[in-house]
Amino acid sequence: MEDKYGRKINYLRVSLIDRCNLRCRYCMPKEGIIKRPYNELLRFEDILKIIKAAAHLGINKIRYTGGEPLIVKDIDYLIEETAKIQGVSDLAITTNGTLLYDLADKLKSVGLKRVNISLDTLKRDKFNYITRGGNIDTVLKSIEKCLSIGLTPVKINVVLIKGFNDEEVVDFIRITKDLPIEIRFIELMPIGQGEKLYKTSYLSSENVLKIIKNTFELVPQKTHSGSTVSLYKVDNYRGNIGFISPMSCKFCKNCNRIRLTSVGNLKPCLHSDKVINLKSCLNNAELLTENLKQGILSKPLQHNMDSKNKSESNKMMYQIGG
């Protein structure tokens, strides 16, 4: 269905859990995380009910995220049931990749189409630092596994952090020479734990493009409608390079998504305080559909993260679902 600005909304991102097995410095605090009791989270049957209703309104893309979606017990069952929903044609997850190696075969066999894996550095010690304790090998072997079983395209999310990974952007691009991987450079957002880091370490896509152009000639690529990525390729390389620039170049006019938090709140925009509680209407199909419609119709024209009136929401990416 279209929102009131004529954007076709066909993409729902569902955060399954606000817990994670890593503590990325721009995302989660080291300590003091208030863990929601499991009984407050949506159950699988609730999530499936919401997705079915959303599919009737034209949502055909589902992405499970978090927190870390792969720490959720029996996620293969949820993927399997989601894949069966009529109208759902694209089913993906965003994951830190640490647990994916063992799950990839199963998830693919039950209907997972593709994965985005977060990896902000290619260096072991820096990975351990940024994730506060993660082991890069667990992620690298998951990436290899996904490529080998055809869980593709594999997209690698790299959050740009000045002074941390700007010197590695060229190394990331070299990966696309022989591998059909899309490297997606994402601008750091002043949200949650990213707020403090943003002041010192924000790096725009434009500046990174300049760094890259010293070494490579980038050829712009076409993207599908609703895409929030600017896509490039080095001639004759197998993979692509994407830039997601929520801060320097708002992509709101192409935004095609709504979000569902792990406790059942529908968020029309990542950066707005507005939420619609869907948990309270799970047993009333008509009201559920009505609330979903309202969510879509209340999508703002654009986010206000860069304005003085920015949302006062103190929600973090791991709570909303990145």
- Does residue 319 belong to the site contacting ligand SF4 (CB under 6 A)? no
- Does residue 127 belong to the site contacting ligand SF4 (CB under 6 A)? no
- Does residue 121 belong to the site contacting ligand SF4 (CB under 6 A)? no
233 carries a ligand binding annotation: no
Q: Which tokens go with 294?
A: 């309202």
**Residues 17-56, interacting with ligand SF4 (CB under 6 A):** 20, 22-24, 27-28
Distance CA 15, CA 321 (A): 5
**Identity of the residue, 97 or 268, whose beta carbon is nearer to ligand SF4 in the bound complex:** 97
249 carries a ligand binding annotation: no
Closest by CA to 241, choosing from 315, 157, 308, is: 157
Distance CA 137, CA 140 (A): 5
Distance CA 280, CA 253 (A): 31
Given ligand SF4, ligand SAM, none, residue 194, with its beta carbon under 5 to 8 Å by kind, binds ligand SAM
Exactly one of 14, 16, 27, 91 binds ligand SAM (CB under 6 A); that residue is 27
257 carries a ligand binding annotation: yes
118: which strand partners? 157
Answer whether 258's CB lies under 8 Å from 9's CB.
Answer: yes
The interaxial angle of helices 75-83 and 44-56, nearest 10 deg, is 20
Within the chain, strands assigned E span: 11-15, 61-65, 90-95, 114-118, 154-160, 181-187, 218-221, 230-234, 240-244, 257-260, 265-267, 276-277
Q: Tally Cβ neighbours within 10 Å of residue 199.
A: 9
Question: Measured from the CB of residue 72, what is the shortest distance to ligand SF4 in angstroms?
Answer: 12
Exactly one of 96, 176, 261, 319 binds ligand SF4 (CB under 6 A); that residue is 96
Question: Measured from the CB of residue 11, what is the shortest distance to ligand SF4 in angstroms?
Answer: 19
Exactly one of 82, 98, 157, 256 binds ligand SAM (CB under 6 A); that residue is 157
- Does residue 194 belong to the site contacting ligand SAM (CB under 6 A)? yes
Distance CA 50, CA 53 (A): 5
3-state helix, strand, coil in the chain (%, to 5): 35, 20, 50
Going by C-beta distance under 8 Å and a sequence separation of 6 or more, which residues neighbour residue 99?
21, 68, 70, 71, 138, 142
Distance CA 270, CA 317 (A): 9
Question: Measured from the CB of residue 262, what is the shortest distance to ligand SAM in angstroms?
Answer: 11
- Taking CB under 6 A as the binding criterion, the range among 15-23, 143-151, 195-203, 307-315 that sits at the site for ligand SF4 is 15-23
**Identity of the residue, 21 or 302, whose beta carbon is nearer to ligand SAM in the bound complex:** 21
What element of type H or E holds 201? helix 194-201
11: which strand partners? 61, 257
**Identity of the residue, 53 or 92, whose beta carbon is nearer to ligand SAM in the bound complex:** 92
Question: Measured from the CB of residue 318, what is the shortest distance to ligand SF4 in angstroms?
Answer: 4
- Does residue 186 belong to the site contacting ligand SAM (CB under 6 A)? yes
Which residues are annotated as part of the binding site?
13, 20, 24, 26-27, 63, 67, 94, 118, 155, 189, 252, 255, 257-259, 269
- Using CB under 6 A as the criterion, which residues of the chain lie in contact with ligand SF4 when the complex forms? 20, 22-24, 27-28, 66-68, 96, 118, 318
Residue set of the binding site for GTP: 13, 63, 94, 155, 257-259
Positions touching ligand SAM (CB under 6 A) are 20, 26-27, 65-66, 68, 94-96, 118, 157, 159, 186, 188-189, 191-192, 194, 317-318, 322
Annotated binding site for S-adenosyl-L-methionine: 26, 67, 118, 189
